[in-house]
A and B are shown apart, each in its own frame.
Chain A
């Protein structure tokens, strides 16, 4: 394993995202995450460009790198053409590869994202479709969504969708041969490895904490813990 900075510097987003930060703080001023979390993208830039391995490791194990919402408002504003959001993406990738993400409450959430969005992509061909937006998991969607969920085929037909049917159109069934291509891409390009890495380290963490975790699905205690737990200190 090379130095952490060297590994970050292999990520094209890191190369594009950090040209040299002069610590002006404009990114922090525009950042929605800095407003609602204890988060400061200026400090992130300063830490990584210090090349201090201990500080970078602490960052990779921290809550901090998981606060960014990836809106990329920082990219527009930086007078030196840096993109703290891209730096964050490189840090998150490395944190997962090294298993450091399970050291933080926000980092552990990657397991819930993999089990929902990640699995859904490979099984359905969509990031999001009505089947994974259950009213129980999404109370904020309100009573209209609850009504839609109870009448999905009917309402989608009325909207001109091709819900769970063959052929073109909204919410069509993605054919098995297409899903096979998607799976092959995930295999060849390293996403399957990333998924396995998230699973492996999450299992290790769940065992360490004594929380039940199942090999698949969301019906396990560890999923519900990382999906719902908020220790309330993130905006202190």
Chain B
């Protein structure tokens, strides 16, 4: 294919990402497990890049986990999300940026459905009015928050203090990137690079000096499976899918994993602990596991933020081997201190996983 043709094909996989003035909606899972990531995102956006990011205390869950565990009907989820559009409209914004990939997938699915079934949109408008007396405009720009960091990756690089390079060897770090299934598998045009060549994370990694690992199960699901994690009896499904990925990536000796989905980053961290305790297996050479970062944490480290202020102590797989490679200085004895630097105790040590 001639270069011109390639460029034209690639244009189909790009998407419009608004430059400023965002209505930000948080993620239930992100707030719960890695809350420092959302704080870091807002700090980068507002303090470092000078962007206007608005949030509304009246925003709620989108019901995504309830919807994908099939206890919440589609009409309910659509109306809850329509209410979020109403809050955005009332605040005078037109660009909406969900922090959650499940939410992003649902917002995308709903807008697509309303295009094909305008009578459904009309019905949801009636439901929303009946329940809340609210009205809304369709967002002009809907993107995931990882799209925003991708868009500003070069500006972040210009301000960066750390590169994704092994300080001792001078070589790029080997990075596994994991894209949440609902980012682009349902609606490929909604993701940068589509479902086949998603570049939202690889674009960040390469801009910041790292090298992306291509491995056989790169696009396999993390295994969340909604009901398969929520119900204890089903968690074997969830851990088995993550294990399949770990086994596939192991030969490439990743320095770390980065994910753009709140659920995936938590599962890829926690299941390494579970597998280590159940089977005595880790997927690195020193018994510590492969560190897992969120893309906000990765951006925060690149910007020179303190690892313990962005929340890396909330990960079960220790991040210190990665920090050492990056040449980031940290104090181990400050890792588990409280909000006023007081002693609040430390987590117990796992039996097998070295921390």
Contacts and interface: CB of A to CB of B under 8 A. Distances in A.
Interface of A: 11-13, 16, 32-33, 35-37, 66, 69-73, 75-76, 83, 89, 92-93, 96, 106, 109-110, 112-114, 116-118, 121, 125-130, 133, 137, 140-148, 150-151, 154-161, 166-172, 174-175, 178-179, 181-182, 184-191, 194-195, 198, 226-230
Nearest to A193: B73
Shortest 3 CB-CB contacts between residues of A and residues of B:
A69-B225, A160-B39, A147-B347
B68 interface: yes
Interface of B: 26, 28-32, 35-36, 38-39, 55-58, 60-61, 63-66, 68-76, 78-80, 83, 105, 113, 116-117, 120, 127-128, 130-132, 181-182, 185-186, 188, 195, 219-221, 223-228, 230-237, 239-241, 244, 270-271, 273-274, 277, 309, 311, 313-316, 336, 338-339, 344-350
Contact of B60 (A106, A125, A159): A125
Nearest to B311: A159
Given A112-B231, A158-B339, A181-B131, A142 B316 contact: yes
B65 to A, nearest CB: 4
16 contacts: A12-B74, A73-B185, A117-B69, A121-B61, A126-B32, A129-B28, A140-B235, A142-B347, A155-B314, A158-B339, A161-B39, A182-B80, A184-B132, A185-B132, A191-B73, A226-B233
Contacts of A121: 61, 63, 66, 72
Contacts of B32: 126, 128-130, 133, 171
Contact of A128 (B28, B221, B339): B28
Nearest to A101: B70
B274 A142 contact: yes
B226 A69 contact: yes
B345 A147 contact: yes
A185 B128 CA distance: 7
Contacts, number: 258
Contacts of A188: 79, 127, 130-131
Contacts of B75: 189-190
